[in-house]
Amino acid sequence: MSWIAVGVAAVAVVGSIKSSQDQEAQADAAQSTNQANATQQLANMQAVEAQASAQEEAQRRQSGAYLGKQRAALGDSGTGSLGSGSNFDVARQSAVSAELDALNIRYGGELRGTQYLQSAYNYQAGADAAGAQAAQIGSTMYTSAALAGVSSYSKSYTAGQRVPTGTK
């Protein structure tokens, strides 16, 4: 047996193991990054929904103040009762429009929140895939490294037997 063959085999094994460790570390880093991004997207979703809720409440307060002024103006106009006729129609349409404005704000916040949630799901799927890849690299590459080392050793040993050294 040649010590050179053993050395070549050892270098091949160490190189394969180092390569697999680097690939595994890269997959672990991708998993961590994707997990952090997923967490951030969930936080963004919560912030957007809270902001939309606050805007909706502000819209309702403004609408309430406007509708109150409108009722007072209609009452002062002397054009009739607020409970019937044109005054009622104007007040009702204003209230419906105000409610639609508030609901549109809520819907916009929910829509943006859903986009962040979908992004979080995508990042989580990426994190899961990277974790699976890291596990696969960890098991497959170490096995491959060991087999490559044995194969390299075997080839070197066999090649060493065929090369005449002048002594036996």
| Structure tokens that stand for 149 in this block | 């080392």
Give the angle subtended at the CA of 131 by the CAs of 128 and 137, to the nearest 5°. Answer: 140
Using alpha carbons, select from 90, 53, 62 the residue that is nearest to residue 74.
90
Is residue 148 within 8 Å of 13, Cβ to Cβ? yes
Is 166 exposed, middle or buried, given 0-12, 13-18 or 19+ CB atoms closer than 10 A? exposed
SS3 of residue 167 by DSSP: coil
Is residue 163 over pLDDT 50? no
Is residue 157 within 8 Å of 13, Cβ to Cβ? no
Q: What is the pLDDT of residue 18?
A: 78
As a whole number of angstroms, the distance between CA 153 and CA 165 comes to: 18
As a whole number of angstroms, the distance between CA 88 and CA 96 comes to: 12
Residue 36 — very low, low, confident or very high, per pLDDT cuts 50/70/90? very high
Q: What is the pLDDT of residue 146?
A: 60
Using alpha carbons, select from 21, 49, 41, 43 the residue that is nearest to residue 125.
41
Per-residue pLDDT reduced to its tens digit, 53-90: 999 999 999 999 999 999 888 888 877 676 777 888 88
Per-residue pLDDT reduced to its tens digit, 90-143: 889 999 999 999 999 999 999 999 999 999 999 999 988 888 887 777 676 666
Is residue 66 within 8 Å of 91, Cβ to Cβ? no
Residue 156 — very low, low, confident or very high, per pLDDT cuts 50/70/90? low
As a whole number of angstroms, the distance between CA 88 and CA 16 comes to: 83
